[in-house]
């Protein structure tokens, strides 16, 4: 990874690496580890799916009352890791997190498979203790009866078929730093970090090489 050959915009490099992951055939190429912390600094991490990225940030969706949702309400900052180990690559992203509008969340929710939309409703108490799996299965069956699956020839899920739960939505992590890690022999790995510049640096992305 030669600095002179890398783009000035880290999102352009991310797009190239993301395309490489898809071409490689890596399972769940959009899987990423999301790390959050509570107001008193207790960390928590889990795997979620990237559902879009661009100049405004990296998007994901979840239950707003879950552990991660509560953490982000108290401490709206997070970190992401894309663990593309089979390619000897990883990408780390960190920055503040903002909640998406209800319109944005509803638009994405309508694209989810019927079962996934029912599952979002069934797991209303995500991260909460439940007596057993039968509670989920019974709730899912009740919801499936209430909102039966659309005909297979339907052009798209109907907006009113399964409404967006008020406890479910999306987030956008706005990157302040993006690090690209490329494995190399003898542990002399390439680590290139882009960080948002200071006011003195006009807020442009600053590229830096880190020691492995």
Helix or strand holding residue 209 (H, E) = strand 205-209
Query: Vertex 147, ends 146 and 148: CA angle to 5°?
Result: 110
What phi, psi does 190 have (nearest 5°)? -85, 130
Active site residues: 187
Look at the alpha carbons of 119, 172, 91, 79 in this order and tell me if their dihedral is positive or negative: negative
Beta bridge partners of residue 45, listed in sequence order: 35
Alpha-carbon distance of 152 to 87, in angstroms, equals: 38
* 3-class state of residue 123 by DSSP: coil
Cβ contact 170:100 at 8 Å: yes
Give residues with Cβ within 8 angstroms of 5, minimum separation 6. Answer: none
Alpha-carbon distance of 4 to 11, in angstroms, equals: 16
């Amino acid at each position: 990874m030669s600095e002179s050959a890398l783009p000035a915009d880290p999102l352009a490099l991310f797009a190239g690496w993301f395309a490489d992951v898809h071409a490689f055939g890596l399972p769940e190429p959009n899987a990423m580890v999301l790390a959050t912390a509570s107001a008193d600094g207790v960390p928590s991490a889990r795997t979620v799916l990237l559902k879009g990225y661009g100049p405004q940030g990296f998007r994901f969706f979840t239950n707003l009352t879950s552990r991660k949702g509560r953490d982000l309400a108290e401490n709206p900052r997070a970190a992401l890791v894309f663990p593309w180990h089979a390619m000897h690559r990883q990408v780390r992203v960190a920055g503040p997190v903002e909640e998406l509008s209800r319109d944005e969340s509803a638009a994405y929710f309508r694209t989810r498979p019927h079962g996934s939309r029912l599952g979002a409703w069934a797991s209303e108490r995500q991260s909460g203790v439940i007596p057993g799996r039968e509670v989920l299965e019974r709730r899912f069956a009740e919801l499936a009866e209430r909102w039966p699956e659309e005909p297979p020839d339907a052009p798209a899920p109907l907006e009113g078929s399964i409404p967006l739960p008020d406890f479910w939505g999306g987030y956008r992590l706005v990157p302040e730093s993006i690090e690209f890690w490329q494995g190399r022999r003898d542990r002399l790995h390439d680590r290139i970090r882009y960080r948002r510049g200071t006011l003195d640096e006009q807020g442009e992305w600053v590229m830096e090489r880190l020691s492995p």
